[in-house]
Amino acid sequence: MRLSELSTESGVPIATIKFYLREGLLEPGAPVTARQSDYDDSHLRRLRLVRAMQQIGGMSIDQVRNVLFAAGESTLSRHERLGVAQYMLPPLVEAPTDDPLWDQTHGEVLALMTELGWLINDFSPSLNALTRSIVALRRLGYRDGIEHVRRYAAAMHPLAEGEYRFIDGHRDLDEAIEATVAYTVLYEPILLAVRRLAHEDVSARLHNRRPISPLDGV
Amino acid sequence: MRLSELSTESGVPIATIKFYLREGLLEPGAPVTARQSDYDDSHLRRLRLVRAMQQIGGMSIDQVRNVLFAAGESTLSRHERLGVAQYMLPPLVEAPTDDPLWDQTHGEVLALMTELGWLINDFSPSLNALTRSIVALRRLGYRDGIEHVRRYAAAMHPLAEGEYRFIDGHRDLDEAIEATVAYTVLYEPILLAVRRLAHEDVSARLHNRRPISPLDGV
């Protein structure tokens, strides 16, 4: 298809597509004439993925580029490339220097991983994300952070197994990387929305009525 | 405690605290002299909550204000106020006009809620968040969105029950509202981090080795 059709199909303006091409976020189409190229479904998919990372994942262009480039690094094994794709997705949380509560909590998080028997790198970015939230909860006076992680771990691991097998089941590495990103960026909001809806349902049941009534201005 | 102590305890600069006071995000302290006020633990907690909403929840000052003000609306019942606090938290996703795939998917999401027997308002913002991600997945060619929601629902509902009972167990309404926000803003990153770590563990197991090796520059 032509650039204009790619734009219509994807809903992405032509100027934006040209920007992605210049930035290397989208592979060039096959040249047809000196001024025209031909695009196929792989371009359409990539375009939708980039848009999803930006609009749903809230990622900057730089973050999108980093994920796509790292995942495309051909000196790494398939396994490593899938790992890098996940590691580069936000949030990337830096450990503070000189915060004893952080250090203690981070140690407890690592100890929990060992206890669970999970094969996790010490430098996995998610460990810092976990630590940051638990530290913030502790500073607010909520003490059950680690216990809660244990409950989430028990609920999430069986699901993660199915998800990862689906991702890894893609023969084509580019498709597997796309699936990694899609399954992270797009299933995360789904998981959170389901959790909020579950809270709403529990609230409605506990208060023995339908949930909050239509409110003006909300 | 004095303003300077409040700043030291919370790690929030004095100028920022003064800004929060002007914006009404923090209640004034008890006047001691014409130029000095006394702050207590409730100020410290509120300050930490506002910071957590901004820094971990990624919320703007306007969003923080909306949540706190809506939750403080005293003409609403306790149940409604807890609901409003959750409803005002981002992401707030608008339904597009004129997108048949959106309409169809939104219908399927509502049908699933009915099938699950969940007591959910038709206008609950999480329904739009769900719909948006499933639409994006479908446009990328992934067809199992609704099935996945069903699996997440089964995993999340028992956890949500414990969480909501904890929130609702706070006698003091302000504390319950704070718990709603804290449990949403701070437990969401925890849940997502646990899910990513579970993926990493499954990946390491499937590839029969420890996960990705230390990479320069990652």
Helix (H) or strand (E) holding B67: helix B61-71
Look-up of token digits 């909306």: B66
Asked if the C-beta of A213 comes within 8 angstroms of chain B's C-beta atoms, the answer is: yes
When pLDDT is cut at 50, 70 and 90, the band that residue A188 belongs to is: very high
Summarised one tens digit per residue, pLDDT across range A51-109 is 888 887 888 999 898 888 877 777 777 778 778 888 888 888 999 999 999 999 999 99
CA distances in angstroms from B72 to A92, B77, B78, listed in the order given: 33, 11, 10
What residues in A contact B124, CB-CB < 8 Å? 196-197, 200, 211
Distance CA A127, CA A53 (A): 22
Q: Which amino acid is at A71?
A: A
Asked if the C-beta of A18 comes within 8 angstroms of chain B's C-beta atoms, the answer is: no
A80 CB-contact burial (10 Å; exposed 0-12 / middle 13-18 / buried 19+):
buried
Distance CA A17, CA A204 (A): 46
CA distance B198 to chain A (A): 5
When pLDDT is cut at 50, 70 and 90, the band that residue A196 belongs to is: very high
B119 neighbors A201 (Cβ within 8 angstroms): yes
Q: How much is the pLDDT for B174?
A: 72
pLDDT exceeds cutoff 60 at B99? yes
**CB spacing of B132 vs A189 below 8 angstroms:** yes
pLDDT exceeds cutoff 60 at B70? yes
Summarised one tens digit per residue, pLDDT across range B164-200 is 888 888 777 777 878 888 888 889 999 999 999 999 9
pLDDT exceeds cutoff 70 at A212? no
What would the mean pLDDT of B193-209 be, rounded to a whole number? 88
CA-CA-CA-CA torsion for B200, B217, A16, B144, nearest 10 degrees? -10
Summarised one tens digit per residue, pLDDT across range A84-100 is 888 888 888 999 999 99
Tokens of residue B203, six digits: 């990946």
B109 neighbors B149 (Cβ within 8 angstroms): yes
A136, A191, A195 member nearest B186 (Cβ): A136
Look-up of token digits 């216990």: A147
The tally of CA atoms less than 13 A away on the side-chain side of residue A200 is 28
pLDDT exceeds cutoff 50 at B216? no
Q: Tell me the ipTM for this assembly.
A: 0.86
What is the reported pTM? 0.85
**CB spacing of B145 vs A190 below 8 angstroms:** yes
Alpha helices per DSSP H over A24-94: 41-55, 61-71, 78-88
